[in-house]
Chains A and B, each alone.
Chain A
Amino acid sequence: MTGTRTPGGGADYLLEVQDLKVHFRLPRRNILTSGGTVHAVDGISYSVRRGSTFGIVGESGSGKTTAALAAMRLAHVTQGSIRLDGVEMTTLDGDSLREMRRKIQIVFQDPYSSLNPRMRAGAIVREPMDLMDVGATGERDGRVADLFHRVGLRPEQAGLFPHQFSGGQRQRVGVARALATQPELIVCDEPVSALDVAIQAQILNLLRELQHEFGLTYLFISHDLGVVQYICDDIAVMYLGEIVEQSDRVSLFSLPLHPYTWALISAVPSARRRTGDRDSRVRLQGDPPNPIDPPPGCRFAPRCPFAVDQCRHEKPTLREVREGHLVSCHLVGSDGVPPYAAAGDAS
C-alpha cells in the first residue's frame, strides 16, 4: 500500500527505477573552459504502483522531464535500471524495445508545439498505431473515432488541423494520441500547465476518468502543488537531480519532512497566507544552483535555513523514517521529526 519499493520487484509495481543517472556532457566552448557534465538525474530510485498516479515535483531544471524521458528510453541512460512490467528496459533494443515502448506513451505540456501542425488531428491520433503496428489496419480509423469520442471531441473534428482547435481541445487530441496504442503507463509532463484553470479542470477530470476506465498508470510531472496533491497518489520531490523526499500524498502535505519540501509548500500563494502569516513562513534565499557543479554534501545546503557543517560535507541518503515516507536530510531524526519542528519555532 505504501509508495516504497519492494525488493525483487513485486507484481504490484508497473515501473521500477533503480539508481537512475542521466548525465549530459557539454561540449567545450573553447580551450580555457572545460565542458562540464550536467548531472540532470543523479541516482534516483522510485517505483510506481500499477493503476496509481506517481507524481514528480520540483523546480525548473530539477530533472523531472529527464527522469521521465529516461524511463521511456528517450534520454540516454548513464547508469541504473528501469523495469517495466518486470522487464529490464535499459538493455532492450530492436523489436523488443519497440514492443515495450508501446506500453508507455507521453502527453506533453505544450499542446501547441507537440502536435504536428501539418497533420490532421485524426492522422495525429492514428500515427502511433501505424508506427507500432497496433490493431488491424482496417480497424484503426474506427478506433480513432472512438478515441475522439472518449476524450470529448466530435469524430468529425478528426479532419481539422491543430491550429483549428483551442488549447484544451489540442490537449484532448494529445491525450487521444497517447491512448491509441493502449498503453499501460502514460507519462504526463506538465499536461495542464499551459492551460487556463477552467480548461485545466476539464483535462484533469478527463485524465482521472480514463485512469479508472482503463486501469492506467500515470507518471505525472508538475510544478503545481495544488494539481499534484489533487491527482497524485504518491509523490517524489526532486531537487537538483535527486529525490529528496517521497511519500503518499496525505503524509507529504500534512507532514513534509525535508526543509525543501517545507519551503516549497509554504511558497504557494494562497488566501490563507494573506498579510499576517507572511512573516512566519520560510523563505529560501537565491535560486537553485547549477546541476553542472552540484555542491558537495547535501545539494540543498546552500539554500537551506537549517544547514549545519555536516550538511555541507556529507551527503545525506534517502531513507524511510516513517512508514512509506522517505527523506534525505541529516537533520530529520530517526523518529521522523523535521528540523523546522525541532528548531522550536514551528510555524
Chain B
Amino acid sequence: MQTAAPLLEVEGLEVEFRTRQGIARVLDGVTLSLKPGQTLGIVGESGCGKSMTALSIMRLVPTPPGRIGAGAVRLKGENLLQASEARMREVRGKDISMIFQEPMTSLNPVYSIGDQIAETVRLHERLSRRASLERAVNMLKAVHIPAAERRVREFPHQMSGGMRQRVMIAMALACRPSVLIADEPTTALDVTVQAQVFDLLKEMQEKTGTAIILISHDMGAIAEMADRVIVMYAGRVVEEAATDEILESPKHPYTRGLIACVPHMEEQPPPERGALTEIPGVVPSLAALGAGCSFAPRCSHADDLCRRQAPQPFTVGTDRRTACWLYDEPGAP
C-alpha cells in the first residue's frame, strides 16, 4: 500500500464539444490520480474519451469547438487549468510529455531526429547546441537505437515504425518529465515490436522514475503494464482499481463485459469453443445522452433507477470505485 502524495490529480473534469447534433459532453466528471513512478492504465472503447482526458491534462483540447467546462488538473498541487499559456509551454515536455499512436504525426519530416530532440531540450534547459545534441545521442542510446551517433543525423522517414516510436520515447523523456502520457503508443506496431516498446517504457521508468499514463483499448496491454486501471465509458470513469483486482473481480457490468468478450490466447487452447460473450448494442451518441447511467441501454442489470439517474462512483472494498447502482450498498456483489 503506497501512501506517496499524488503527483497528478484530475478532478471532476468536464469537456464539451459543439457538434452538429448539439452539445456533446465528451468528458463528464473524470477523476483520476497518479503517484510518482506509478503506471496508470486508461482503457475503453473508441470514442470514450481516453485521448481527450490526455489532451485536457496537457491543455491541448482544440478550442473551439471544444471547451473545458469544469474541473481541476493539479500537478504537484498547481492547478494547470488556471495556469498561463506561457507556463503551459514550460510544463509540456518538461513536466508532462506525451507520445502518440502514430509517431509520424508528431515528428517533423524536414528535421533530423537529432535536431528535433535537441530542440526540445534547448527549449526547456539552457544548454548549448553541442550539449543538447550530445543529450540527443545519449537518449537515442538509452532507447537502444543502434549506431546512435550516425542515426542522430537521419530523418524520420528513414526509420521503421518501431524505431520512430523509440525516437518519440527518447524525445519525450529527454527532459526527465515526471509524467509521461502514452496514447496508444503501440497500436500501429507489430506485436514483437510492441513488446520491445513496452520493455523499453518499463526500463526507462525504472531509470528515470517517471510516472506513466498508458492509454490503450487492449486490456492485455494494460494488464501487463499498469499498476492501476481506470475504465472509461461514454466520457465517464466507470471503474477504478488496482490492476490485479480489476482482472480478478471486475465490478462494473461494462468492465466485466469488456474482459469477457475478448478471445484470450491460451497456452493450452481448449478443444471446444463456445460463443464469445457479447456486449449487445453499440456505444451511445454523446450528444444524445440521457440523465441515467450511460451504460443502461446495454446492461442486463439495468432497472428504473439506472435509467433515471446516473450513478456516482461508489467506493468498493478499499481503494477502488465503481459508478454503478449495484454497488450503492456496502456488501453488494
A interface vs B, CB < 8 Å? Answer: 59-60, 166-169, 196-202, 204-205, 208, 223, 225-227, 229-231, 249-250, 253-254, 263-271, 273-274, 278, 283-284, 287-288
Contact = CB atoms under 8 A, between A and B. Distances in A.
In the A-B complex, the 9 residue pairs with the smallest Cβ-Cβ separation, listed nearest first, are A230-B263, A271-B223, A201-B261, A267-B195, A59-B190, A198-B279, A269-B224, A201-B276, A196-B45
A162 B266 CA distance: 36
Contacts of A169: 282
A287 B278 CA distance: 35
Contacts of B221: 269
A201 B277 contact: yes
B101 interface: no
A264 B193 CA distance: 10
Contacts of B220: 226, 268-271
Interface in B133-171: 160-163
Given A230-B276, A254-B267, A59 B191 contact: yes
15 contacts: A169-B282, A197-B261, A200-B262, A201-B263, A223-B190, A226-B264, A253-B268, A269-B198, A269-B224, A271-B220, A271-B224, A274-B223, A283-B195, A283-B199, A287-B163
A264 B161 CA distance: 18
A110 B157 CA distance: 25
A196 to B, nearest CB: 4
Contact of A204 (B160, B271, B276): B276
A131 to B, nearest CB: 31
Contacts of A274: 223-224, 243
Interface residue SS majority, chain A: helix
A246 to B, nearest CB: 16
A197 B262 contact: yes
B234 to A, nearest CB: 13
A198 B45 contact: yes
B225 interface: yes
B318 interface: no
Given A250-B271, A274-B224, A287-B160, A268 B190 contact: no
Interface string B172-199: 0000000000000000001111111011
Contacts of B277: 201
B11 interface: no
B174 to A, nearest CB: 23
A18 B209 CA distance: 54
B194 A270 contact: no
B224 A273 contact: yes
Contacts of B273: 230
B192 A264 contact: yes
A162 to B, nearest CB: 15
Given A198-B278, A265-B265, A269-B220, 6 more contacts: A196-B46, A197-B261, A201-B261, A271-B224, A278-B224, A284-B196
Contacts of B243: 271, 274
A196 B258 CA distance: 10
B275 A269 contact: no
B224 A199 contact: no
B222 to A, nearest CB: 8
A59 B279 CA distance: 29
Q: Which of B243, B258, B266 has the most CB of A within 10 A?
A: B266
A290 B180 CA distance: 33
A41 B191 CA distance: 21
A198 B257 contact: yes
A169 B180 CA distance: 36
